[in-house]
Structure 1
């Protein structure tokens, strides 16, 4: 088999970048020891191109989420995970190498996908629980994903490959995306964030009055597109009948997620849409209803809240350790517990609540 034949996936990515940058020779960073042989980097390579419009930046593309060589997966429609990531990072005029933190971050995305099996799609977001560049004085603590505007999906012999651009976002931008829509928030900030270039020094888009107003209008008009929220701290204890009384059921949430759930109650249940909270071993489906009640199984709880209960809970949940009772639903207690934020080594770096 020819060399060209066994690099068909790799060649498809290179062809797309050549279409944009012509004969420019990218800065390429390959992996010395393959991941399957014990190497620490799951992606086979990263290529960084110098771009000047709309402002100087590095346009970095990954090689490794899709099938770069021969077809191995059984899915004929998609190549590997079906995407590659791109990342546009602000570049100084005299800069000759892309920042190492950006390359490391992309490899970390590879570890996340390869280890968890979770894949990214346009409209997704990911909380980094800290600066996306470790140790940097930056407000960018999360990531959003959209289709790279210059790189439409391609159909290769190994299947379809989409190019997802990764964008550094602030904590309040992340909250806005959760309570409205990732792509809608990015569109609202398009003029203020040309090219969706990640610049560690930028301020939040919500500090711009016109952008903030557009986002608030969208939230009120549309509600939230987030129907599924993964939460680390989630537990359910069913109510118990006693001789002369009944103890209420207890739903436990982490303090970090409490304000997000509060906003989503308004953006989902009060718009007539359900919200699913999920941990590794439990799903709690919050659904609008004419009266409160619940149905509990071993792995899933369906919790109905009428408009009054949803409204009260959305106003009450705060990022602090406390017991929340709903005046209109005596059969339920929300227990908010402390959230401990940990670094990559498992050390607690901050506590919420």
Structure 2
């Protein structure tokens, strides 16, 4: 079998990049030791192309989320995980080599996917809990994923491959995407963030009145696309009958997510759709219902809330430790606990609440 046939997946990716950049020879960074042989880098390689429009930037593309050589998976429709990541990063004048941190970031994304089995898709987002470039003075502390605007999905002999572009975003942009819609936010921002290029030096797009208004109108019109929210801390105790009276059910959440949950209540429950809070141990589904009630299922807890209870809960959820009852849902108590933000070494770097 020829080398070209063996690398049919790899060749299909390079063909798309050649369509954009002609005969430009990219900077390529191959894994020193294959992941299958105990290496630390899951991706076979990462290429970086020098793009000039709309302004100079590096255009990275990965090789390894999809099946680059022979077909190995049993899924005939998709190649491997079904995507490759791209990343556009602003390039400084005279910069000859792409920053090493960007290569490491892409490999870190691969380590997450390969170890967890969780895949990225257009519209997803990820909180990095710190600068996407460690040690950098940047407001970009999260990532969004969207379709690469110049690389449509391709059908290869090994199956379909989509090109997902990773975009550096700020904490408040992440919140706006969660309470509205990731792709809609990026679409509304394309005039000021062309091709979704990541620039560590930029300010939050929500400083711009036009973007603020687009988000406000979008949430009012569309609600939120975030149906499930991972929270650091989540607990539930059902109501109990006691000698001196019934004790209410208790829902416990961390202070860090309290403001986001408040906004999602309006964008989900008041639009007639549920919101699921999930942690490693528990899932709690908040649902719009004509009466307040809680049901404990084997796999999750369902809490039904009236519109009146939702509106009251929205105003009371604050990033501050404490507890409160709802006048519109007297059988439910909400506890807010401090959230401890830790760095990669496990050291507490911030306390919320």
Q: Give the Cα separation in 1 of the matches to 2:15 and 2:346.
A: 41
- The aligned counterpart of 2:99 is 99
Q: Give the Cα separation in 1 of the matches to 2:36 and 2:332.
A: 48
The alignment yields a C-alpha RMSD, in angstroms, of: 1.0
TM-score by length of 2: 0.98
What 5-or-longer segments of structure 2 have no aligned partner?
Answer: none
Q: Give the Cα separation in 2 of the matches to 1:70 and 1:96.
A: 34
- The aligned counterpart of 1:218 is 218
Deviation, structure 1 residue 274: 0.9
TM-score by length of 1: 0.98
- The aligned counterpart of 2:266 is 266
Q: Is the 8 A contact 1:281 1:299 kept in 2?
A: no
Q: Is the 8 A contact 1:317 1:324 kept in 2?
A: no
Q: Give the Cα separation in 2 of the matches to 1:243 and 1:226.
A: 42
- The aligned counterpart of 1:70 is 70
Q: Cα deviations across residues 74-104 of structure 1 (Å, max 9, x unaligned)? A: 1010001000000000001201101111111
Q: Give the Cα separation in 2 of the matches to 1:16 and 1:200.
A: 27
Deviation, structure 1 residue 221: 1.7
Q: Give the Cα separation in 2 of the matches to 1:324 and 1:243.
A: 22
Q: Give the Cα separation in 1 of the matches to 2:350 and 2:114.
A: 27
Aligned residues: 353
Q: Give the Cα separation in 2 of the matches to 1:305 and 1:38.
A: 50
Moved more, 29-38 or 175-184: 29-38
Give the SS at the match of 1:220.
helix
Q: Is the 8 A contact 2:59 2:86 kept in 1?
A: yes
Deviation, structure 1 residue 256: 0.9
Q: Give the Cα separation in 2 of the matches to 1:112 and 1:123.
A: 18
Asked if 1:38 corresponds to 2:53, the answer is no
- The aligned counterpart of 2:349 is 349
What 5-or-longer segments of structure 1 have no aligned partner?
Answer: none
Q: Give the Cα separation in 1 of the matches to 2:54 and 2:233.
A: 42
Asked if 1:177 corresponds to 2:177, the answer is yes
Q: Is the 8 A contact 2:232 2:339 kept in 1?
A: no
Q: Give the Cα separation in 2 of the matches to 1:60 and 1:21.
A: 12
Give the SS at the match of 1:268.
helix
Give the SS at the match of 1:160.
strand
Q: Cα deviations across residues 268-302 of structure 1 (Å, max 9, x unaligned)? A: 11111111111223211111011100111233111
Deviation, structure 1 residue 346: 2.3
Q: Is the 8 A contact 2:338 2:351 kept in 1?
A: yes
Q: Give the Cα separation in 2 of the matches to 1:343 and 1:38.
A: 26
Give the SS at the match of 2:29.
strand
Correspondence 1:150-299 to 2 at 5 A:
150-299=150-299
- The aligned counterpart of 1:29 is 29
Correspondence 1:62-141 to 2 at 5 A:
62-141=62-141
Deviation, structure 1 residue 348: 1.9
- The aligned counterpart of 1:315 is 315
- The aligned counterpart of 2:144 is 144
Moved more, 320-329 or 163-172: 320-329
Q: Give the Cα separation in 1 of the matches to 2:201 and 2:168.
A: 11
Give the SS at the match of 1:132.
coil
Q: Give the Cα separation in 2 of the matches to 1:297 and 1:147.
A: 37
Deviation, structure 1 residue 329: 1.0
Q: Give the Cα separation in 2 of the matches to 1:239 and 1:251.
A: 10
Deviation, structure 1 residue 312: 0.5
Q: Cα deviations across residues 5-47 of structure 1 (Å, max 9, x unaligned)? A: 2111111111110111010000000001111222111111000
